[in-house]
Amino acid sequence: MNIILLKDTQRRSIIPDMYNPDKFVEPFLGSFSRMHRPEFGRKTTPLPRMDDIRTLEETLMKLFFPGHQGSENPKGLRKVIQYLMEDTMHLIYDSIFLALQYENPDKEEGEIEKQAVSLADKVGEALPEIRAMLKTDAQAGYEGDPASLSTHEVILCYPYMKAMAVHRIAHLMYKLGVPLVPRMMSEAVHSETGIDIHPGASIGESFFIDHGTGVSIGETTVIGSHVKLYHGVTLGALSVDNHGKNIQGRKRHPTIEDGVKIYANATILGDITIGKGSTIYSGTMITENIPPYSVVRNANTEITVEPKNQQ
């Protein structure tokens, strides 16, 4: 049996009266009146594109770690940085401008341009400090994983490094009040790495996520320095039923103090504190404060080994 796919124009000319979907157009358009912005299609206010956000994230990795993401000649470091900085800052500015324009359609374009320049400049000024933080993250990965052979391997191969590079920029934008872009950045890298970090989360230096897949870190989480997480860890909020918007902006996620280690699939919920230097073992559920230098494990962790009957 041969299947022939017709172009849209061919299909309409051959079967003009068999089926007419026009009856659905008006009801569907009616649904847009319930959106935040019924003028969604206005050419003057396009949204930032997710493809451009992904391009920004790739360019950021090249900028932070030149030579690790391509064949740049280290002898020409200044030229490489100048080229990558230009690309990075244009992408940052463009994304901020589009987000501001979309959220403020009644503002004059010149005013939005000035605001976008100011915000982009603040991001650019922070890039050296962010790179210094990322170097501590890479070193933490190298020192914290016996399987790693060098910081270069960590930068190239460990997904948490890209998640953190993106997060540290997105967190800055979040604090500066940039709309849309920080969350788009976090979701783009989440889909790639499996690591979900809300841009509002505050994370100290020398942070390491081993393996990474399934880690979820909520908006008001505060993480100190030298903290290590394993895959599947959740730092979340307690369920608030139908009152979610009533606590928007309040602290509702955990605080993880310096030097804490949290093993795979542990779940820590609510505005609680895990004290300095504590170790949280796999599979635990915690909803209360933990004193410093504690060891937390499930009560029923005893393993019983019985001989198997031989047939």
CATH code of the domain in which 253 resides: 2.160.10.10
- One domain for residues 163 and 264: no
- Predicted pLDDT at 307: 76
| Residue 188: domain span | 43-194
Q: Write down which residue in 194, 229, 263 finishes a domain.
A: 194
In which region does residue 39 sit, left (phi positive, over 0), alpha (psi from -120 to 50) or beta (all else)? alpha
- Predicted pLDDT at 67: 79
**pLDDT tens, 193-224?**
999 999 999 999 999 999 999 999 999 999 99
- Kindly give, in sequence order, each residue whose CB lies less than 8 Å from that of residue 256, ignoring residues fewer than 6 positions away: 221, 222, 223, 224, 227, 235, 262, 268, 273, 274
- One domain for residues 188 and 103: yes
Q: Is residue 20 part of a domain?
A: no
> For the chain, which ranges sit under pLDDT 70?
1-17, 33-45, 68-75, 240-246, 301, 303-304, 308, 310-311
- One domain for residues 291 and 227: yes
Q: CB of 279 within 8 A of CB of 260?
A: yes
- Predicted pLDDT at 114: 97
54 closest CA partner among 193, 154, 151: 193
Q: Is residue 146 part of a domain?
A: yes
Helices of type H across the chain = 8-14, 25-30, 50-64, 77-103, 109-144, 151-157, 159-176, 181-193
> DSSP letter at 106?
T
Q: Is residue 163 part of a domain?
A: yes
- Give dist(CA 284, CA 264) in Å, integer: 9
- One domain for residues 188 and 47: yes
- Give dist(CA 163, CA 178) in Å, integer: 19
Q: CB of 173 within 8 A of CB of 53?
A: no
- One domain for residues 56 and 164: yes
210 closest CA partner among 189, 231, 182: 231
Residue type, 261: K
- Give dist(CA 82, CA 77) in Å, integer: 8
Q: Is residue 24 part of a domain?
A: no
Cβ burial 51-90 (10 Å sphere, 16+ → b, else e): ebbbbbbebbbbbbbbeebeebeeeeeeebeeebeebbbe
- One domain for residues 187 and 149: yes
- One domain for residues 48 and 117: yes
- Kindly give, in sequence order, each residue whose CB lies less than 8 Å from that of residue 144, ignoring residues fewer than 6 positions away: 208, 210, 228
- One domain for residues 82 and 143: yes
- One domain for residues 173 and 219: no
pTM: 0.85
**pLDDT tens, 82-103?**
999 999 999 999 999 999 999 9
- One domain for residues 95 and 140: yes
- Predicted pLDDT at 30: 78
- Give dist(CA 273, CA 227) in Å, integer: 14
- Predicted pLDDT at 263: 97
**pLDDT tens, 94-140?**
999 999 999 998 899 999 999 999 999 999 999 999 999 999 999 99
- One domain for residues 106 and 190: yes
* Domain containing residue 56: CATH number: 1.10.3130.10
- Predicted pLDDT at 47: 86
- One domain for residues 113 and 243: no
- Predicted pLDDT at 106: 86
Q: How many domains is the chain partitioned into structurally?
A: 2
Q: Is residue 233 part of a domain?
A: yes
